[in-house]
Structure 1
Amino acid sequence: MGLLVGLLIVWAVLIVLGMVIKGLFWLIVVGAVLFVATGVIGIVKRGALNARR
């Protein structure tokens, strides 16, 4: 769980950097895609763990 939160924070920082630095629009896109993917993976894994109980 801690790794997931850490990754979400890193991706959010990349998104903010991409917005602040005008030439790094691609960083917004990469950060957003990774943020969403990490969130989905976390939700799926949490659901799988709850299904086992």
Structure 2
Amino acid sequence: MDYAFIKKMKYLINSSHEGDYWDFKQAWHTENERLLHDILCFANTVHNENRRCR
């Protein structure tokens, strides 16, 4: 288990803010259409760097 990754994920979740590579949600979507819309918008966001998720 990658404890550094888990620690970073907990930090991001507890910080309650968004960044270029993650999207914070305060609650689960109740409508699948809104969830799909958010996923597609986030996936189509242009970033300055072309990084791979590790």
Same fold flag (TM > 0.5): no
**Higher relative contact order, chain-length normalized (CA < 8 Å, sep 6+):** 1
- For the aligned pair, the TM-score class normalised by the smaller chain equals 0.3 to 0.5
Give the TM-score, by structure 2 length: 0.40
Instruction: Identify the structure with the greater helix proportion.
Output: 1
Give the TM-score, by structure 1 length: 0.41
